[in-house]
A and B are shown apart, each in its own frame.
Chain A
Amino acid sequence: MRGLVFERNLPRFAAARVATSLAGSGRGVGVSPLRLTDLDAPELPGPGWARVRPLLAGICGSDLSTIDGRSSRYFEDIVSFPFVPGHEVVGVVEEPAAGGGPGTGTRVVVEPVLGCVARGIEPPCPACAAGHTGGCERVAFGQLAPGLQIGFCADTGGGWSAAGLVAHVSQLHPVPDALGDEDAVMVEPTACGVHAALAAGVTPGETVAVLGAGTLGLTFLCALRHLTRPGTVLAGAKHPQQRRLAAELGADVAVGPDQLTRAVRLRSRSLEASGGLTGGADVVVDCVGSAQSLAQCLGMVRPRGRLVLVGMPGSLRVDLAPLWHREVRLVGAYAYGTEHTENGARRTFDIALEVVGRYGLGRLVSAAYPLERFEEALAHAGAAGRRGSVKIVFDLRPRRRARDGAASERVVEEVAR
Chain B
Amino acid sequence: MSPRPGFMLDVDRSTPPTLFWHGEGFRLERLPEGSRVLYGPEPLDALADPVSAIRRALLEPLGDSAPLPELLRPGMRLTIAFDDVSLPLPPMRRPDVRQLVIEQVLDFAAEAGVDDVVLIAALALHRRMTDAELRHALGDRIYDAFAPHGLLRQHDAEDPAALVHLGETDQGEDVEISRRAAESDLLVYVNINLVPMDGGHKSVATGLASYRSLRHHHNARTMQHSRSFMDQDHSELHSSNWRMGRFIAASGLKVFQIETTLNTDTFPEQFRFLQRREWEWTGRDRAAFVASSSALARTPPRLARTIFHAIKSPHRMTSVQAGEVEAVHARTTANVYAQQLVEVDGQTDVLTMGLPYICPYNVNSIMNPILVACLGLGYFFNMYRGRPLVRQGGVVVMSHPTPWDFSPVHHPSYIDFFEQVLSETTDPVEVGKFEESFATDPWYVHLYRTGHAYHGVHPFYMWYWCAHALQHLGGVIVVGGDRAAVRRLGFTPASTMADALEMATDVVGPGPGITHLHAPPLVMADVR
Contacts and interface: CB of A to CB of B under 8 A. Distances in A.
Real binding pair: yes
A253 B424 CA distance: 10
B415 A266 contact: no
B303 to A, nearest CB: 24
Interface in A114-164: none
Q: Top 9 nearest A-B pairs by Cβ distance? A: A259-B419, A271-B443, A266-B416, A262-B416, A269-B442, A255-B419, A269-B441, A263-B420, A271-B446
Interface string A234-273: 0000000000000000000101100100110110011110
A266 B420 contact: yes
A265 B408 CA distance: 15
Given A262-B415, A271-B446, A253 B420 contact: yes
15 contacts: A253-B420, A255-B423, A256-B419, A262-B416, A262-B420, A263-B419, A266-B420, A266-B437, A266-B438, A266-B441, A269-B441, A269-B443, A271-B443, A271-B446, A272-B443
A270 B443 contact: yes
Interface of A: 253, 255-256, 259, 262-263, 265-266, 269-272
Nearest to B415: A262
Contact of A255 (B420, B437, B442, B443): B420
A200 B438 CA distance: 30
A265 B438 CA distance: 11
B524 to A, nearest CB: 38
A280 B278 CA distance: 56
Interface in B401-448: 415-416, 419-420, 423, 437-438, 441-443, 446
A272 B443 CA distance: 7
Contact of A263 (B416, B442, B446): B416
Nearest to A271: B443
B451 to A, nearest CB: 11
A262 B442 CA distance: 13
B443 A265 contact: yes
Nearest to A267: B437
Contacts of A271: 442-443, 446
Nearest to A270: B443
Nearest to B443: A271
A106 to B, nearest CB: 46
Interface of B: 415-416, 419-420, 423, 437-438, 441-443, 446
Contacts of A265: 443
Contacts of B443: 265, 269-272
Nearest to B441: A269
Nearest to A256: B419
B507 to A, nearest CB: 27
A269 B446 CA distance: 12
A269 to B, nearest CB: 6
A253 B446 CA distance: 25
Given A255-B420, A266-B438, A269-B442, 16 more contacts: A255-B423, A256-B419, A259-B419, A259-B420, A262-B415, A263-B416, A263-B420, A266-B420, A266-B441, A269-B441, A269-B443, A270-B442, A270-B443, A271-B442, A271-B446, A272-B443
Nearest to A277: B443
Contacts of B419: 255-256, 259, 262-263
B121 to A, nearest CB: 25
Contacts of B437: 266, 269
A265 B446 CA distance: 14
A262 B413 CA distance: 10
A262 B420 CA distance: 10
B146 to A, nearest CB: 32
A269 B456 CA distance: 12
A275 to B, nearest CB: 14
B275 to A, nearest CB: 41
A17 to B, nearest CB: 35
A308 to B, nearest CB: 24
A90 B419 CA distance: 40
B415 to A, nearest CB: 7
A266 B435 CA distance: 12
Contacts of B423: 255
A176 B446 CA distance: 56
Nearest to B417: A266
A272 B446 CA distance: 10
Contacts of B446: 271
Contacts of B441: 266, 269
Nearest to B484: A240
Contacts of A266: 416, 420, 437-438, 441
B189 to A, nearest CB: 34
Contacts of B416: 262-263, 266
A263 B416 CA distance: 7
Most buried by B among A263, A265, A266: A266
A256 B418 CA distance: 13
Contacts of A272: 443
A256 B441 CA distance: 22
Contacts of A259: 415, 419-420
A262 B441 CA distance: 12
Nearest to A259: B419
Contacts of A256: 419
A265 B415 CA distance: 12
B433 to A, nearest CB: 14
A263 to B, nearest CB: 6
A3 B402 CA distance: 53
B483 to A, nearest CB: 13
A255 B438 CA distance: 18
Nearest to B438: A266
A267 B464 CA distance: 23
B411 to A, nearest CB: 13
A296 B437 CA distance: 24
A270 B447 CA distance: 12
A263 B441 CA distance: 12
A315 to B, nearest CB: 33
B439 to A, nearest CB: 12
A287 B443 CA distance: 28
A266 B415 CA distance: 11
A269 B438 CA distance: 9
Nearest to B420: A263
Nearest to A234: B420
A57 B437 CA distance: 47
Nearest to B456: A266
B389 to A, nearest CB: 37
A256 B488 CA distance: 14
A256 B420 CA distance: 10
Nearest to B424: A253
A168 to B, nearest CB: 48
A198 B420 CA distance: 28
Contacts of B415: 259, 262
A151 B441 CA distance: 50
A391 B225 CA distance: 52
A381 B158 CA distance: 51
Nearest to A263: B420
Contacts of A263: 416, 419-420
B384 to A, nearest CB: 37
With most chain B CB atoms within 10 A of its CB, the pick from A256, A262, A265 is: A262
Nearest to B421: A266
B269 to A, nearest CB: 43
A271 B451 CA distance: 14
Contacts of B420: 253, 255, 259, 262-263, 266
Nearest to B445: A271
Contacts of A255: 419-420, 423
A262 B438 CA distance: 12
Nearest to A262: B416
A265 B419 CA distance: 13
A266 B419 CA distance: 12
A158 B437 CA distance: 53
A100 to B, nearest CB: 54
A260 to B, nearest CB: 10
B416 to A, nearest CB: 5
Contacts of B438: 266
